[in-house]
Amino acid sequence: MTGGSLLELSGVHASYGRISALRGVDLTVAAGRIAALLGPNGAGKTTTLNVAAGLHPADRGEVRVGGRALTGADPVELARRGVCLVPEGRGIFPNLTVRENLWMMTFAGVSRAAVEEIAYARFPKLAGRRRQTAGTMSGGEQQMLSLARGLATDPAVLLIDELSMGLAPLVVAELYGLVVEIARTGVAVLVVEQFASTVLEICDLAAVMVNGRIERAEAPSDGLLADLSALYLGSAT
Ligand SMILES: Nc1ncnc2c1ncn2[C@@H]1O[C@H](COP(=O)(O)OP(=O)(O)OP(=O)(O)O)[C@@H](O)[C@H]1O
Ligand SMILES: [Mg+2]
* Cα distance between residue 237 and residue 235, in whole Å: 5
Tell me the β-bridge partners of 22.
14
Q: Is residue 203 a contact partner of residue 218, using CB atoms and an 8 Å limit?
A: no
Pocket flag, ligand 1, residue 14 (CB < 6 Å)? no
Ligand 1 site-directed mutation target among 18, 23, 47, most atoms within 8 Å of CB: 47
Instruction: Please tell me the predicted confidence (pLDDT) of residue 107.
Output: 75
Please give the distance, rounded to the nearest whole angstrom, from the Cα atom of residue 193 to the centre of ligand 2.
Answer: 8
117-155 pLDDT, tens digit each: 989 998 899 999 999 999 999 988 998 899 898 888 789
153-194 pLDDT, tens digit each: 789 999 999 988 888 888 888 889 989 999 999 999 999 998
Instruction: Please tell me the predicted confidence (pLDDT) of residue 117.
Output: 93
- Indicate the domain borders of the chain: 5-82+155-235, 90-154
Q: Which residues of 97-110 are buried (b: 16+ CB within 10 A; e: fewer)?
A: bbbebbbebeebeb
pLDDT category at 35 given cuts 50, 70, 90 is very high
Looking at domain 5-82+155-235, its CATH architecture is: 3-Layer(aba) Sandwich (3.40)
Element (H, E) at 63: strand 60-65
Amino acid at the residue 98:
V
Question: Whose atoms come closest to the Cα of 38: which ligand?
Answer: 1
Amino acid at the residue 46:
T
Tell me, yes or no, if the pTM score tops 0.85.
Answer: yes
Tell me the β-bridge partners of 75.
none
Ligand 1 site-directed mutation target among 13, 16, 232, most atoms within 8 Å of CB: 16
| pLDDT above 90: percentage of residues in the chain | 63
For residue 156, give the nearest of 62, 51, 65 by alpha carbon: 65
Question: Whose atoms come closest to the Cα of 45: which ligand?
Answer: 1
- Residues near ion ligand 2 (CB < 5 Å) are 45-46
Instruction: Please tell me the predicted confidence (pLDDT) of residue 169.
Output: 86
The total number of residues written for the chain in this structure? 237
Tell me the β-bridge partners of 222.
none
Question: Whose atoms come closest to the Cα of 23: which ligand?
Answer: 1
